[in-house]
Amino acid sequence: MMNDNIEFVVDADRRRMLNWKELWSYRELFYFFTWRDIKIKYKQTALGFAWAVLQPLLMMIIFTFFFGRALNIPSQDLPYPIFVFSGLLLWNTFSSGLTSSANSMVNNAHIIKKIYFPKLIIPVSSILVALFDFLMAFLLFVPLLVFYGQPVSFMVIWAWPVAILLTLFATLGPGCLLSSLNVKYRDFRYVIPFLIQVLFFLTPVIYPINLLKYPFLQYVLACSPMYAAVELFRLPLTNTELNHSLVLMSVVSGLLLMAIGIYYFRRTEDFFADLA
């Protein structure tokens, strides 16, 4: 005789920080959430996907006029527009991915209350939307290199993929952490834009780090998880020698933030449906 009072509970495995098997079984959701967010982002816009290209292009023009020409900031022997655009490509991926992932749990509260799936998929999908914007803007970066006659070394084969991967890692950790905190403390929606603005000026996107004459300040800036990604992305263009200690500091910072962010996210995700 069957017992009608039997209940089945579907829940995540808390013994692992990342349950790869579970994430793989729900892999279709990565595509679903990513493509849905892309369509929502550009829905009812006159220019559509062109905004992904126009934003870094306009910022490049502004920074070139004020910093490249008016203040004559050095650019590692690169044309200043190339120098700035190469940094903005990755920075916009980071800032857009961080903003979207930080608000992702609140924006998807109606979904996480209804069905079970690995909630980590939501912030990761938000970051993949930012990666899509990177690919759109990169289509402009290549003609820009041709226009300025900028040579690119063979290091591009490994430097650019590693730089993109480090950008995703640098975004994932803070994104997961802020998405968890934003569920419980809605004040973080006001903190996030300020935090991104501060990090922008603490990351050598529009200036080289050797502009700072004090080594202590260089080490402070190298704590930014985006420093290593930006430096590696520019490496095939500048052919300058990397400061390995600064790059290592940045990589460790990004990986540490990723571990902390994912750990806190996994520890608090059971409460998302109640608080969102």
58-75 residue pLDDT tens? 888 888 888 766 667 777
pLDDT at 17: 60
What is the per-residue pLDDT across 3-20, written as a single tens digit (0 to 9) for each? 555 544 445 555 556 677
Mean pLDDT over 235-261 rounds to 91
Per-residue pLDDT, 8: 42
pLDDT in tens, 115-133: 778 889 999 999 999 998 8
- The percent of residues above 70 in pLDDT, for the chain, comes to 88
Predicted pLDDT of residue 7:
47
178 pLDDT above the threshold of 70? yes
pLDDT at 45 over 70: no
CA-based angle 125:129:135, to the nearest 5?
135
Lowest-confidence range among 1-15, 62-76, 149-163, 251-265? 1-15
**Mean pLDDT, all residues of the chain:** 84
Residue 105 has pLDDT above 50, yes or no: yes
pLDDT band with cut points at 50, 70 and 90 for residue 241: confident
From residue 101, give the alpha-carbon distance in Å to each of 36, 68, 87. Answer: 14, 33, 21
Predicted confidence at residue 273, as pLDDT, reads 63
pLDDT at 5: 54
More confident residue, 219 or 1: 219
pLDDT greater at residue 19 or residue 141: 141
